[in-house]
Amino acid sequence: MDTETKKIFGKQFKKNRYHIFNIICPVASVLLAFLAGGLMLLLLKINPLVVYGRMIVASFGDPYNLAEMLVKAAPLLLTGLSFAFAFKAGLFNIGADGQFYLGALGAVFVSLKLGFLNPWLLLPLALLASIIMGGLFGGLSGYLKARFNANEIITTIMMNYVAFGLTNYVVNGPLKEKAGAYPQTDPIPAQAQLPLLISDTRLHWGFILALFCAVIFYFIITRTSIGFQVRAVGLNRRTAEYAGINTKRVLVLAMVFSGIFAGIAGFGEINGVQHILIQGFAPNVGTIGTVIALLANANPLGIVIGSLFFGFLQVGANLISQTSQVPQNAIDMIQGFVVIFVLISYYIQYRVNAHQKIRQLKGAL
C-alpha cells in the first residue's frame, strides 16, 4: 500500500471515528442516566432492575400503553424538530414552549369559531392557524436577532412568558368556558378532532403528521437551497455572508420554520389529545424537545428515536407510580439525569468536534 493510499484510508478512519464517537455519546448519556437513577432507587431501598423491568413490560406488553407512548412522543418529536432547525442555523431556540402554546391557541380558536364547517375544511384551517401563530412568534425572535443582534436565548425565553400570559388571558377571558368555573375553553366540536389511528386508544393522525414533518425537515435541510443556506450560516455566519448569502434573511426564516414545527405540535395536542385548551396544559413539552434534539445532535431520525424513548419514560413512570409503591418523582429523576448527561455529552462532543476542525485546518496549511 503506497503512502498516498495510507493517507486516504487514515483520513477516512479518523472521519468514521468521530462519527462513531458522536453516536456513542448520546447512548452513553442514556445508560449513565439509568445507572444514576438506579443508584437513587437503591438509596430508597427499591430494586432498580425490578422497576425497569416493570416499565418495559407494562409499556410494551399492552397495545393501549404502546399507543400511549406514541401519543406522548408526537409533540416531543415536533418540538425537537423546532429546536433542531434553528440549531442548524447556529441559533438556540429556547422558545418552543411558547410557540407550542401559540399554535395550540390558534388551533382552538379556529376550531371553536368555525366549528360548523366540514372536518375536511376545518382541520386544515386549524392546522394553518397553528402554523401561522407558531411561525410568526418564532419569526419575531429571528427578526430581533437579524435586526438588532439580540441574543435569541434571552428573547425566546422572554417570549415564552408572553405566550403563557396571552394563553392565560384567553382561557380566563374571551374563550373561557360558558360555565365559567375553570380557566379553560369549551371542548372543540367533534368535527375538529383528529381521527384515531387505532380504536380504543388515544393514538391519532397527529403522530403521522409529526413523522411527516420529520421527513419534511430532512428534505428542506438536505435537498433545498434554503437548507444549504441554513447549514452554511450555522457553520460560519461570516463566511456565508462573504459567499453572498443573505444571513439576516436566513436567520429569520430558520426561526420561522422552527416556530412552525412547534406550532404544529400545539395543533396535534389540542385537536388530537386534549380537545380543550386548559391553563398550564402540557408543561415542558418544548424543554424536553430541546433535550431530545441535543441528544440526537439535531438529526431528524435521532429525534424520532429520542421522542419515542421519552414517550416510553413518561408512560412507564405513570404506570409504575399507579401500580406500585414507587413514587412518581423517583422515575422522574431518570429524565432529570438524562438532561444532565445529555448536556455534558453535548459539551464533550462540541469540544472534540472543535478540536477536529482545528486539526483539519492545520493539516490544510
Q: What is the pLDDT of residue 27?
A: 86
Sequence-ordered list of residues with C-beta below 8 angstroms from that of 269, at least 6 positions apart, any chain = 75, 100, 104, 206, 281, 282, 285
pLDDT-derived band at 8, boundaries 50, 70, 90: very low
> For residue 129, what is its C-alpha cell?
392557524
Supply the mean pLDDT for the chain.
90
How many angstroms separate the CA atoms of 127 and 114, rounded? Answer: 13
Nearest to 53 by CA among 316, 262, 286, 273: 316
Residue 48 CA: distances (Å) to CA of 40, 59, 62, 125, 340? 9, 16, 21, 47, 20
What residue has cell string 459567499?
A: 243
Residue 274 CA: distances (Å) to CA of 200, 279, 281? 16, 12, 9
3-state secondary structure of 21: helix
Angle between helices 96-113 and 285-295 (to 10 degrees): 130
Is the pLDDT at 147 greater than 70? The verdict is yes
Q: What are 196's strand-pairing partners?
A: 204
Give phi and psi for 298, each to the nearest 5.
65, 20
Sequence-ordered list of residues with C-beta below 8 angstroms from that of 149, at least 6 positions apart, any chain = none
Nearest to 42 by CA among 310, 337, 340, 330: 330
> For residue 211, what is its C-alpha cell?
413523522
pTM for this prediction: 0.92
Instruction: Yes or no: say if 206 and 299 are a contact pair by the CB < 8 Å rule.
Output: no
Q: What is the pLDDT of residue 327?
A: 77
Instruction: Yes or no: say if 118 and 328 are a contact pair by the CB < 8 Å rule.
Output: no
Is the pLDDT at 6 greater than 60? The verdict is no
The mean pLDDT value for 46-58 works out to 89
Q: Per mean pLDDT, which range of 67-81, 225-239, 330-344 is the poorest?
A: 330-344
The mean pLDDT value for 12-36 works out to 76
Q: Where are the domains of the chain?
A: 73-299
Is the pLDDT at 13 greater than 60? The verdict is no
DSSP state of 118: -
pLDDT-derived band at 325, boundaries 50, 70, 90: confident
Higher pLDDT: 119 or 328? It is 119
Higher pLDDT: 308 or 350? It is 308
Give phi and psi for 251, each to the nearest 5.
-60, -45
The mean pLDDT value for 245-262 works out to 98
How many angstroms separate the CA atoms of 89 and 134, rounded? Answer: 18
Higher pLDDT: 12 or 97? It is 97
3-state secondary structure of 47: coil
Residue 313 CA: distances (Å) to CA of 26, 75, 141? 16, 15, 32
Q: Over pLDDT 90: what percentage of the chain?
A: 70
Q: What are 278's strand-pairing partners?
A: 184
The mean pLDDT value for 66-94 works out to 97
Q: What is the pLDDT of residue 220?
A: 98
The mean pLDDT value for 193-219 works out to 97
pLDDT-derived band at 218, boundaries 50, 70, 90: very high
Angle between helices 225-235 and 63-88 (to 10 degrees): 70
What residue has cell string 448520546?
A: 26
Higher pLDDT: 64 or 351? It is 64
Greatest mean pLDDT among 34-43, 116-125, 354-363:
116-125
